[in-house]
Chains A and B, each alone.
Chain A
Amino acid sequence: MVKPVIVVGSGFAGLSCAFHLAEAGIPVIILEKKEKLGGYFPQLKKQFPTNSCGVCFMHPDYPAYCPYIEAERHENITVYTNVSIQNIENYQEGVNIKFSADGILNEIDGQALVIATGYEPFDISMKPDLGGGLYENVYPALNFEDHIYDLIAENKSLPQRKIAYIQCVGSRDLKIKRPYCSSFCCMYAIKQALLIKDFDPDVDISIFYMDIRSFGKDYERYYLSAREKGIKFIRSAVASVKKRPSTGKLEVLYTKDGSATEETFDAVVLSQGAVIEKSILDLMKKLDVEIDFYKPKLFEDREIKRNIFVTGTLYDPMDIPDSAIDGIATASKIISRNMITPKILAPVKVKTQKVAKIGIFLLGCDNRLDDIVRTRFSEALKVKDLDEIQYAVRENKFDGAVIITDDIRKTSGFLENKNYCGLHIDSVVLVPSFNNALLEEISASIQKLRQVKRNNHVPKALNSKVCIIGGGLAGLVSAKFLGEMGINVVIVEKEDRLGGRLLEIPSRLDLVKNYIKYVEDNKNIEILLNSKVKDVEGRLGEYILQIESKEDVRKLKVDALLVTTGGIPRKNVVVQEDGKRVFTIFDFENRFDEISKSKRVVFKQCAGSRTEDNPVCYKVCCKKAVMSAIALKNKNPEIEIFILHKDIRTYGFSENLYRQARAMGIQFIRYSQEPEIMRESEKLKVKVLEDGTNSEFIFEPEYVLLSSGMNPNTEEVAEVLGIGTTDGFINPYNQKTGLLDIKNGIYSAGLCLAPNYTEDVIKQAEAVAVRIAIKLAGRQLYVKFNTAFVNPKYCCGCELCVKACPVSARYMDYEEKIARVDEALCEGCGNCAMVCANKASQHKVFEHKGMLKTIDLMVG
């Protein structure tokens, strides 16, 4: 019997972790302190940078229902709400936890504990200088977001015409003892501003900031789009927000062009930071884990004690995509201590015929509703639960049912591909009872059922084989996990050795070599060096690759592809780069001794980036420059170091590294005009005009280090696979939660996807490996019931539907000259049905003739 994993907290990280564990066959117990699951994300209806929701993509098998419904209905997940933890004890084989849920005491013995309790929003009443807690038109950002959604829904304009956002409220502030950066506030403020501008373009919005931290994938473009839409970004901390007694408006005091200025606003929104709740701090104390907000990392490792993990924003403040991946990566650590026990599905066979006798059931509705329904449908039966339905079906020999219910959870069994109550899933329609057109909908549902053709559902067989394109760190980490799970891996690497870029970095050599050794030793992993994928055909479960090496060409059949082609260091980013005195930071480690002996060094951040023709932020350079500068100062305290930057993006707890650097005397100079690097005889000269103070600095450094980032290595592979890129980085299926999924069957991780730290590349690689493994370990794919089909009589072979399908579930049968649907991949979106001019392509549940009849009934 597999002991369960206990997940505390049901936000993004917690639920991602729980779903992936559950899908891998490991029982999960979710403990949530509030009454409902989800943490803060249910409140955030639109997220950056998509300005939409998309949380369902977090589920390993999407499209899924909203995560908190999925969590409650998953057979491997048990949910407790209103939980208060009494005690936690960890021992050799596991963890014992005592808690109360809804007042009842419980005790669980588990194999592991995952603490994903996330954050609380900073209490703005701790900042009365900014009006927090004093004035009703000074809003905490979370509340203001609700306000925005309400206005959008009611299609009203914003009553406040001029708003100010103030960043870093509750973060980066020694005064209130919150020295770290909360990572996501810059982005959510921009998101709110963009949402407002979208529905009410005349609102005047100013965002007051110290550094804009838009470091994630495509976030810099999002930030620039905000600037282009007329949202003002003002680089000055706000000294105070005061309410003018005569007008009731708010006066914001800040520095403009070097002098104190006061500007009036109708409302001020304080971008609250992330705070760890007191009960969690107490829990950490009980567990003997030290919490120090001033350290560069809050926790050294996710596994803080044996079998006890920390993940998500609690580990380090992070946004939704990172939290989801963090949760999955944590799941991967636990899964690798077990094995994946995938679900094995028996094929479902039904007699192909139309529904004849339909029962109408009122499940748990009130009497008033019963009467209303029974006036039109006198045969409707009132039932308490699904057992009564089953009894009635047997008794009356129903072969179809319309169930009117007030709570979808009561009918959760119907949401799975099962025979339930003696009925087939295709023969049941669920109708919500709170419905203005209830009677019409019931008639329409009956009509719909009459047209449905029931189908056999045979799972699609898989070979359980993956091809990993690119044998760098990401590829190796994923290969390791997949190999451990018994999945066959073929690594296609274009160079003559595995290891990728990190082989050039001395401090990372051991890390890479360990993975290489593992991969070489594992018999499930095949390595093809000096090879490239030249052609790809097919879809998930049936990819046929053509792989070319110097010696031969071979064809390979795999279920899925993982693209981990990595990155190429950007060199020659500025004209003066000579590789000797002016060079990129990639040579820093190798030339450390030489650099540390100099008197003065200048780092130039954002070299050749964050410009009009390259609006990309390479994410890691700020922290890397800070760490490099600190290393230099440690070696040679006399060295003078100046870091020229456009923003310093040391997010999360690495903000403490930024402070450490300043305390060591490293100076940071912000520029908006490109600094000049000149050579006068033998000397290097750097001239920079500081933003804000408008002071001119002239340095004569020995070296200028350019922080230039890594370009994604995707040109060839993107063309071969037919996948889209932005600025060269691979476009994922959903930028928020489906970050690692590209197309159905194609995945990606690492630097080809987005700029990232080594630790985060490993995290992504572990997470993507879990997602792939879960899909392939069962050696079969579910076939869903609500898929599309092709009526061969009308298909003319124009292939429009093949192009229209977003998940490559359609393909041409060139022998019969018609289009076909791979039911295992079809997600039932209906795109194909829309583009088909002949109505050959139809959706099983929404067949067009029947739908028109149904609409007639609905309209009355």
Chain B
Amino acid sequence: MKKITYYPGCTLHSTAYEYGDSTEAVLKYLGIEWQEIPDWNCCGAASAKSLNHKLSILLPARNIKNASTLNNDIYVPCAGCYNNMMKAKRALENAEERQNIEKSLGKFESIPEVYPLMRLFTDKAILEKLSQSKLKTDVKVASYYGCAFVRPEEVLQNENPEIPQSIDNILNAVGLETVEWPLKSFCCGGDLSLADSSVVSVLVEKIINYAKEAGANAIVTACPLCQANLEMRQKEPFPIFYFTEILGIAMGIDNEKWWKKHLVDPRDLVSKIKGGK
């Protein structure tokens, strides 16, 4: 039984509730045991690093420290959290910076690995289990990665931001066809969501248009802010999913709760995806 440390981040229990719930459902179905980081705090999102560099490192560093007591790798579903955690991790890998961090937080006994949630599904055994639930449908989706999971490359060393594949691989494994399109990691506008939503509207319009042109019926993402922006600032109804929700459908464990949480009702498409099964 695989054991992981899980860092949901603030939104997965609130504005991205369906992401959190579907992630937990999928983990349970796959038989993966998880524990949340003990007493975890907000990673600082975009706000800490905009105003205070030290704060932007210490907040996620505290999470890493608390996680180190659990002795398992940390998996992070939220792109922003993952990005901040990796920045803190890189800082801890530098001797001088680690000293400074330990001055504030105390000694780190160990520094666990930090992975994006998608990395979990590259495990052979897990992939096998995934492919047992094959969807049979004509529905096509566009995988959307956003920025925080893939850039900056030197810090994250996750995947090539120009040609990311992880979400595509996961969806293909459960039999859902993903389209080739050029805006996989094109910024949605991030936290300009509230500061200046007109910018986000322009970017979101472009993203959804291209996804439609490529033949997609929906966009599938892994970032709570991207999902929110794409839902909130779109012009015509176009479903935006979290990849764990799609996995939930494939495994037959999807929950009406999730669809109710969406600002854009995806239920028609959900039945289409299921209908082919």
Direct touching of A and B (C-beta under 8 Å): yes
A residues with CB within 8 A of B = 128-129, 134, 240, 242-246, 251
CA distance A240 to B163 in the complex (A): 12
Give the residue among B179, B182, B214 with the most A Cβ atoms within 10 A.
B182
Q: Please, how many residues of chain B have a CB less than 8 angstroms from a CB on the other chain?
A: 12
Contact: A246 with B163, CB < 8 Å?
no
A244 to B210, CA, bound (A): 7
The 3 closest A-B pairs by CB, nearest first: A242-B182, A245-B214, A245-B213
Q: Whose C-beta in chain B lies nearest to the C-beta of A134?
A: B163
Could you tell me if B160 and A246 are in contact, using CB atoms closer than 8 angstroms?
A: no
Note all chain B residues with C-beta closer than 8 A to A129. Answer: 162
Among B162, B179, B181, which residue has its beta carbon within 8 angstroms of that of A128?
Answer: B162
In the complex, per-residue mask of B205-230: 1 if CB is within 8 Å of any chain A CB, else 0: 00000100111000000000000000
Instruction: Take A128-B160, A128-B162, A129-B162 as given contacts and tell me if A244 and B183 are in contact as well, using a CB distance cutoff of 8 Å.
Output: no
Q: Which residues of chain A are near B210, meaning CB under 8 Å?
A: 244-245
Identify the closest chain B residue to A247 (Cβ).
B213
Which chain A residue shows the least CB distance to B160?
A128
Closest CB in chain B relative to A644 CB, distance in Å: 34
Inter-chain contacts of A240 with B (CB < 8 A): 182
B181-192 CB contact bits vs A (8 Å, 1 = yes)?
111000000000
CB <8 Å contact, A128 and B214: no
CB distance from A535 to the nearest CB of B (A): 67
Instruction: Write out the residue numbers on chain A whose beta carbons fall within 8 Å of the beta carbon of B213.
Output: 244-246
**What is the CA–CA distance of A747 and B170 in the complex, to the nearest angstrom?**
69
Residues of A within 8 A of B162 (CB): 128-129
Complex contacts, B181 vs chain A, CB 8 Å:
245
- Is there contact, CB below 8 Å, between B163 and A245? no
Contacts of A242 in B (CB 8 A): 182-183
Per-residue interface assignment for chain B, residues 161 to 179, with 1 indicating a CB less than 8 Å from any chain A CB and 0 otherwise: 0110000000000000001
Chain A residues with Cβ below 8 Å from B182 are 240, 242-245, 251
Contact indicator A245/B160 (Cβ below 8 Å): no
The residue on B at minimum CB distance from A241 is B182
> Residues of A contacting B160 with CB < 8 Å?
128
- Interface set of B (CB-CB < 8 Å, partner A): 160, 162-163, 179-183, 210, 213-215
In the bound complex, how far is the Cα of B180 from the Cα of A128, in angstroms? 13
- A251 (CB) vs chain B CBs: closest residue: B182
Given the complex, which residues of B lie within 8 Å of A245, measured CB to CB? 179-182, 210, 213-215
Chain A residues, CB < 8 A from B179: 245
A242 to B214, CA, bound (A): 12
How far, in angstroms, from A514 to B62 measured CA to CA in the complex?
70
Q: From residue B214, how far is it (CB to closest CB) to chain A in Å?
A: 4
Give the complex CA separation of A428 and B160 in angstroms.
Answer: 65
Q: List 7 A-B contacts (CB under 8 A).
A: A128-B160, A240-B182, A244-B182, A245-B213, A245-B214, A246-B213, A251-B182
CA distance in complex: A117, B251 (Å):
57
Could you tell me the distance between the alpha carbons of A505 and B215 in the complex, rounded to whole angstroms? 68
Cα–Cα, bound, A33→B181 (Å): 40
User: Least Cβ distance of B199 to chain A in Å?
Assistant: 13
Shortest C-beta distance, A756 to chain B (Å), equals 41
Q: Give A246's nearest chain B residue, CB to CB.
A: B213
Q: How far is the CA of A240 from the CA of B187 in the complex (A)?
A: 14
Cα of A242 to Cα of B209 in the assembled complex, Å: 14
The interface residues of chain A lying within 8 Å CB-to-CB of B183 are 242
Cα distance, A242 to B210, chains bound together (Å): 11
CA–CA, A510 to B214, complex, Å? 68
- Given A242-B183, A243-B182, A128–B215 Cβ distance below 8 Å? no
Shortest CB distance B9–A (Å): 30
| CB of A78 to closest CB in B, whole Å | 47
Bound-state CA distance A251–B210 (Å) is 12
Closest chain B residue, CB of each to CB of A131: B182
CB distance from B194 to the nearest CB of A (A): 24
Chain B contacts of A251 at CB under 8 A?
182
- Residues of B with C-beta under 8 A to A244: 182, 210, 213
What's the least CB distance linking B112 to chain A, in Å?
30
Chain A residues within an 8 Å CB radius of B215? 245
**A129 — nearest CB in chain B belongs to which residue?**
B162
* Chain A nearest CB, measured from B189 CB (Å): 15
How far apart are the CA atoms of A175 and B181 in the complex, in Å? 24
Interchain CA distance A243-B179 in the complex, whole Å? 13
Given contacts A242-B182, A245-B181, A246-B213, 11 further A-B contacts (CB under 8 A): A128-B160, A129-B162, A134-B163, A242-B183, A244-B182, A245-B179, A245-B180, A245-B182, A245-B214, A245-B215, A251-B182
Minimum CB–CB distance for A133 against chain B, Å: 9
Residue on B nearest A133 in the bound complex, by CB: B163
**B193, chain A: closest CB distance, angstroms:** 21
The docked-state distance in angstroms from the alpha carbon of A243 to that of B210 is 10
Assembly CA distance A129 to B161 (angstroms)? 9
A246 to B181, CA, bound (A): 10
Please, which residues of chain A bring their CB within 8 A of the CB of B214? 245
Among A244, A245, A246, max chain B CB count under 10 A is at: A245
> Please, how many angstroms separate the alpha-carbon atoms of A251 and B182 in the complex?
10
- Bound-state CA distance A119–B22 (Å) is 53
Q: In the complex, A128 Cα to B162 Cα: how many Å?
A: 6
Report the separation of the CA atoms of residues A244 and B160 in the bound assembly, to the nearest whole angstrom. Answer: 21
Residues of B within 8 A of A243 (CB): 182
Give the residue name and chain of the A residue nearest to B216 (CB).
A245
**Could you tell me the distance in whole angstroms from the C-beta of B229 to the nearest C-beta in chain A?**
20
Minimum CB–CB distance for B218 against chain A, Å: 15
Distance in angstroms between the alpha carbons of A242 and B180 in the assembled complex: 11
CA distance A129 to B182 in the complex (A): 10
Centre residue among B160, B162, B180, B213 by max chain A CB count within 10 A: B162
Given the complex of chains A and B, what is the CA–CA distance between A244 and B214 in angstroms? 8
A240–B184 Cα gap in the complex (Å)? 13
| Complex CA distance for A251 and B206, rounded to whole angstroms | 13
Could you tell me the distance in whole angstroms from the C-beta of A481 to the nearest C-beta in chain B?
52
Q: How far is the CB of B190 from chain A (nearest CB, A)?
A: 18
A240 to B183, CA, bound (A): 11
